[in-house]
Amino acid sequence: MAVPEDREARFRVLFEAGRSRLASYALRRTESPEDAADVLAETFLIAWQRLEDVPEGEAGILWLYATARHLLANQRRRLQRQRLLVERLASELGKAVAQTDAVDQSSLEAARVLASLPAEDREILMLAGWEGLDSRGIGAVLGCSAVAARIRLHRARGRMTAAASESFVAGTKHRHAVGDIPHEAASE
């Protein structure tokens, strides 16, 4: 698509007259040169798109300032929303970490048992337990049928139960060996 020469020439005049003034304006109002460059580029993009609305002469430069001012206000609002979101997410993450830190001994043991299982078993158990997915959902995530997911989940639960039983027996033996004194030894 060809651009009429008079339109292009008019834009060049506006750009040359306003570029350095608008760049200084944006640099004084942004946190980084990159942000200022974004404002400057967007200001001139809008000027190009709406060139018929841009007044001639100094009034055109003032129009550019007004456009840049609106863009800067939008940028500040966007950055403020991002900061608030980051703060909210950090707060929620802090609460989640605090809850995780308050885990009891049985939860730690369950996590150890889960970690001892093969990765495929851990994944399917976590999809069911932590993500709350049913067989159809698990199948969709794993790329298998709901029936296959149900069978895999059943088998993984069986392996977890066996691993938990082994861990319990080993833990009981360890506690007796380390901390408990048998009655016979205590009476001697």
Domain borders along the chain are 5-99, 104-187
Q: What is the per-residue pLDDT for 97? A: 67
Q: What is the per-residue pLDDT for 138? A: 95
| Tokens encoding 18 | 């306003």
| Tokens encoding 142 | 């794993």
Q: What is the per-residue pLDDT for 181? A: 46
Q: How far apart are CA 162 and CA 183, in angstroms?
A: 31
Do 160 and 113 meet the contact criterion of CB atoms below 8 Å apart? yes
Q: How far apart are CA 111 and CA 122, in angstroms?
A: 10
Q: What is the per-residue pLDDT for 36? A: 95
Q: How far apart are CA 142 and CA 124, in angstroms?
A: 8
Give ∠ CA 60-62-64 in degrees, rounded to 5: 75
Mean pLDDT, consecutive 10-residue stretches, the chain (188 aa), reads: 79 96 94 94 97 95 96 92 89 74 68 87 90 93 95 95 80 51 44
Cα–Cα nearest to 25, from 82, 81, 65? 65
Q: Which pLDDT tens digit goes with each residue over 108-151?
A: 777 888 888 998 999 999 899 888 999 999 999 999 999 999 99
Architecture of the domain whose range is 104-187: Orthogonal Bundle (1.10)
Residue with tokens 């000027």: 47
Range 37-59 burial, b when 16+ CB lie within 10 A, else e: eebbebbbebbeeeeeebeeeee
| Tokens encoding 48 | 């190009």
For domain 5-99, the CATH class is mainly alpha
Q: How far apart are CA 64 and CA 47, in angstroms?
A: 7
Q: What is the per-residue pLDDT for 39? A: 95
Q: What is the per-residue pLDDT for 184? A: 44
SS3 assignment, position 158: helix
Q: How far apart are CA 17 and CA 111, in angstroms?
A: 67
Q: What are phi and psi of 149, to 5 degrees?
A: -65, -40
